């Protein structure tokens, strides 16, 4: 019986140790998405400015879809990254903000306070687009190449380094 006990210890400890070892090496901000490598969902929504915007309007050039809300603290932190990217790559890249569980008036106040660089922000009143993208909460950002294929996702706020890395995946040198 004593011998069996010493045999069970490595059988239980080694797999547990391996699980802990491999888990500590992962970035907790990296959330896998089954959408990577898949065509981006098709949509057509009204913008805060009252215009209609759809994926058909975005065809042929890379675009970034950022789900955000005025009540989201990390969204405030990443807002300068998004506006700077739009100002730098506006001729090569389309930026789209998607209002996530928020009122249009609150979003307009947010943009008035923190700056509006002029890229479109669409309203997703029933949350359908967020569901199609598998969004769990803002901020979440998707990077779509010129062929309409999702190439990367960022869960949580963007930084300059993360933005440059994700833009490179869709063919832009950030």
pLDDT > 60? residue 95: yes
Q: Please, what is the end-to-end C-alpha distance for the chain in angstroms?
A: 63
Q: Residue 66's beta-bridge partner residues?
A: 97, 141
pLDDT higher than 60, residue 174: no
Residue 22's φ and ψ, nearest 5 degrees, are -75, -30
- Whole-angstrom CA distances from 53 to 7, 76, 139, 155 are 64, 24, 21, 24
Give the whole-number percent of the chain exceeding pLDDT 70. 82
Q: Where are the domains of the chain?
A: 35-169
Average the pLDDT over 122-149 and give the result.
95
Structure-token match 């479109």, residue found: 120
List the structure tokens of 151. 């190439």
Q: What are the pLDDT digits (tens) for 29-59?
A: 555 677 899 999 999 999 999 999 999 999 9
**Taking 70 as the threshold, does the pLDDT of residue 94 lie above it?**
yes
CATH topology of domain 35-169: Glutaredoxin (3.40.30)
* 134-145 average pLDDT score: 95
3-state DSSP call for residue 51? coil
Q: How far apart are CA 16 and CA 115, in angstroms?
A: 49
Residues in the chain: 174
Cα 168 to chain centroid distance, Å, stands at 15
pLDDT of residue 68: 97
69 pLDDT band, cuts 50/70/90, is very high
pLDDT greater than 80 at residue 9: no
Mean pLDDT of 123-137: 94
**Binning pLDDT at 50, 70 and 90, where does residue 117 land?**
confident
């Amino acid at each position: 019986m004593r011998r069996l006990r010493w045999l069970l210890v490595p059988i239980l400890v080694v797999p547990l140790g391996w699980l802990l070892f491999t888990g500590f090496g992962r970035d907790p901000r990296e959330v896998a998405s089954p959408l990577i490598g898949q065509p981006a969902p098709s949509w057509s929504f009204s913008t805060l400015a009252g215009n209609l915007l759809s994926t058909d309007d975005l065809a042929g050039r890379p675009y970034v879809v950022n789900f955000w809300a005025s009540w989201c603290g990390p969204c405030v932190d990443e807002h300068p990254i998004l506006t700077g990217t739009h100002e730098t790559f506006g001729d090569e890249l389309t930026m789209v903000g998607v209002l996530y569980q928020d009122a249009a008036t609150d979003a307009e106040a947010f943009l008035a306070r923190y700056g509006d660089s002029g890229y479109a922000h669409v309203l997703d009143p029933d949350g359908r687009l967020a569901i199609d993208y598998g969004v769990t909460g803002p901020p979440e950002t998707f990077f779509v190449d010129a062929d309409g294929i999702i190439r990367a996702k960022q869960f949580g706020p963007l930084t300059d380094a993360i933005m440059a890395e994700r833009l490179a995946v869709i063919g832009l040198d950030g």
